[in-house]
Amino acid sequence: MLTCGIDEAGRGPVIGPLVICGVCADESAEESLKALNVKDSKLLTPKQREHLFEKIKKVVQKYDIIIVEPREIDRVVLSKEKTDNLNWLEARKSVEIINKLKPEAVILDCPSTNPKAYNDYVNELIKTKSKLVCEHKADAKYPVVAAASILAKVTRDREIKKLEAKYGKIGSGYPSDPVTKEFLRKNFNKCPEIFRHSWTTFKKAKEGAGQSKLEDF
C-alpha cells in the first residue's frame, strides 16, 4: 500500500514562505526510512536534515513540495471568509498534493485543534479514494510524515538562504528571533514582498516606524 505523509515547515515565521510536503512510501520504503533513522525534523540538526534530504528522495516512491509565498498567506489570514485561514489554506495545499500523488492512504500532521473537522474538510476536497488519518504530532509517530517534515524544513531553510543572499542576515524568520526583529525594523518597507503583513510583529514594526517619524518633528 502506498502511504503519503504530509507535513509543513514555516507556519509561524514573519519572514519567508510556508512549505508543505507530501512523501509517498510503500512498506519497503518505510522500512528504509526507519533504517535511515528519519525522525521529526525539529529533532535533527540542520546538517543531519541536509544529509537525509537526498537519501529520502531516493528511497521513497514519489514526493511533492509546495511553496506558499507570504502574499498568499496574508490573503487568507486577512480574509473575512470562514474557510479562509491558515489551517484551511494548509488543508487545501495538502489536497493538491494528495490529488497529484494519488496515494491509497494519507497521514496528515494536523495543524488544527479540531482534527475531525480538519479531516472532514480535506475529505470533501480530495478526488482520490484515499484513507485519511489526521493526527497531532504525526511527524513524531510515523516515519513517512517525519520524512515529509524533513523535506519541507530543508526546502524552507534553502529559501531563507536565498533571501539572505539577496537582503543580508535575517535570522530564522521567527518573531522571537532578535536578528529577525532587527532586520524587520530596518527593512519592512524595503522588501515588503518577503514579509507576512498580517503578522502582529510586522504591524508593530510598521507602527513603531511611524511613531519614530512623528517624534522627529
Looking at the fold, whether 32 and 139 belong to one and the same domain comes out as: yes
Q: Are residues 71 and 142 in the same domain?
A: yes
Residue 192 DSSP label: G
125 and 140 inside one domain: yes
Separation CA 214–CA 8 (nearest Å): 41
Provide the domain count of the chain. 2
Radius of gyration of the chain (CA): 19
In a domain, 217, yes or no: no
**Predicted pLDDT at 208:** 72
- Phi then psi dihedrals of residue 215, to 5 deg: -70, -20
CA distance 162 to 126: 33
75: CB partners within 8 A, 6+ apart: 84
pLDDT at 210 over 60: no
Q: Quick check: 188 and 23 in contact, CB under 8 A?
A: no
Residue 19 shares a structural domain with residue 103: yes
State whether 91 and 8 are in the same domain: yes
Distance of CA 31 to the CA centre of its chain: 25
pLDDT per position as a tens digit, 21-64? 999 999 999 999 999 999 999 999 999 999 999 999 999 999 99
* pTM for the predicted model, two decimal places: 0.93
Q: Say which amino acid occupies 58.
A: K
Q: Which three cell numbers stand for residue 170?
A: 535575517
* 145 pLDDT higher than 90: yes
CATH number, domain containing residue 183: 1.10.10.460
Containing domain of residue 197, as a range?
A: 167-211
Question: How far is the C-alpha of 24 from the C-alpha of 200, rounded, in Å?
Answer: 36
Order across the sheet with 105-109: list the strands: 62-68, 18-25, 3-9, 105-109, 131-135
Strands 18-25 and 105-109: unpaired
Shared domain check, 184 and 125: no
- Same domain for 187 and 117: no
Q: Is 200 among the domain residues?
A: yes
- Pick the residue with more confidence: 211 or 120? 120
Residue 24 lies in a domain: yes
Closest CA to 111 of 20, 175, 186: 20
User: 89 and 111 in one domain?
Assistant: yes
Interval 58-105: pLDDT, tens: 999 999 999 999 999 999 999 988 778 999 999 999 999 999 999 999
Measure the CA–CA gap between 56 and 33, rounded to whole angstroms. Answer: 7
